[in-house]
Amino acid sequence: MVSDGGVCPLPAIDVKLLLSDNSRSKVWSAGYLLFALWDSRTKELLKVINVDGQVDTRFDILSSQDSYGYETKQNLFSSPKKEKARSPVGFFQRSRIALMGAADAVRRVAAKAGFGDDTRRIEALAMSIDGMIWTGSANGCLAQWDGSGNRLQEFQHHSSSAQSIFSFGTRIWVGYMDGSIQVLDLEGNILGGWIAHNSPILSMAVGGSYIFTLAGHGGVRGWNLSSPGPIDINMRSRLIEAEASYKNFEYMKVLVGSWNVGQEKASDKSLRAWLKFPTPEVGLVVVGLQEVEMGAGFLAMSAAKETVGLEGSPNGEWWLDAIGQQLKEHSFERIGSRQMAGLLISVWVRAHLKQFISDIDNAAVACGLGRAIGNKVLVFF
């Protein structure tokens, strides 16, 4: 973020969201609890407001002081003297900004660590066709703003965190942390809602006559833009009546195997004897391994990886590759796996059935010391 002269009047804070208001030549930038409005032509800071809609006057002072410092710097460099000159005002101002930035960083780290966490933090930002700005907060609150940054009204339709907002035509779609979607009109009234995923809805986009939702586990689903609407009731009844024409039930066997490997790697012969040869009736193979890797260091690293969203280990990857080589001979393909601490679970399906499986979800629950580390873990699909 820059203002006239390349000087930023704001301290170092995280910018989570950006929104361009082309009709008013403004840009909105949002942090955790603050908004900044900028002039897109002059790049000047217009105002800073908090989540309650109150103008933060601290940054007006910073902006004026930065402007003075910039003018002083310009005068110094435009003078015929070649000796370098430093403005004491600019030095102290830079020091002040640095200190405020450091303090803000400490507050952010404390908030992320669970100390003083504010559920009002901004998670989503969008503009509707009528020029209104919509924001979604971690407590599920939706707020409507005008183009000048004035908070008009707020709505509390859901208790889950609002993760994404998308506007198209006269409708507004809101995606929540629990995987549900709500459709609103431009006045904020609920038109309908449903469970779209079993994972947070991170983003939405329109393609053709559908709106597509992206979930936290990578699943993508498409929904008709006209839903919910009067036609839904008629379509639902007709689909139920014709269910037999498009739905087919088939029964298959599932092969389930578990093994405490004791941090060892098995030979091809051992794997072949363990998995044997799945009969043609077997369509799904589920393999669970225990004590893939152990030790205090690995358990602590596993907990750290789980915190930042990473998973897996070299030993775990070896086992997945080895099992895959055995099952590949029988036309099986892996559709998912999950490892946490010493436990590893993987699911394999016949190649001709893979096209019918989508939107796979998995999770892991630590059940050891402090529910954070240890070899007592639950993984499931």
Query: Which domains does the chain show, CATH number per domain?
Result: 4-112 (no CATH), 122-241 (2.130.10.10), 253-380 (3.60.10.10)
Mean pLDDT of 219-223: 89
Q: Residue 336 has what pLDDT?
A: 86
* pLDDT tens per residue, range 10-28: 555 678 899 999 989 999 9
Side-by-side strand order, sheet with 122-127 = 122-127, 133-137, 142-145, 151-155
Mean pLDDT of 226-236: 80
Q: Residue 189 has what pLDDT?
A: 95
Q: Check pLDDT > 90 for residue 4.
A: no
Q: Identify the band that residue 113 occupies on the pLDDT scale cut at 50, 70 and 90.
A: very low
- This model's pTM is above 0.75: no
* pLDDT tens per residue, range 304-321: 555 434 456 788 889 999
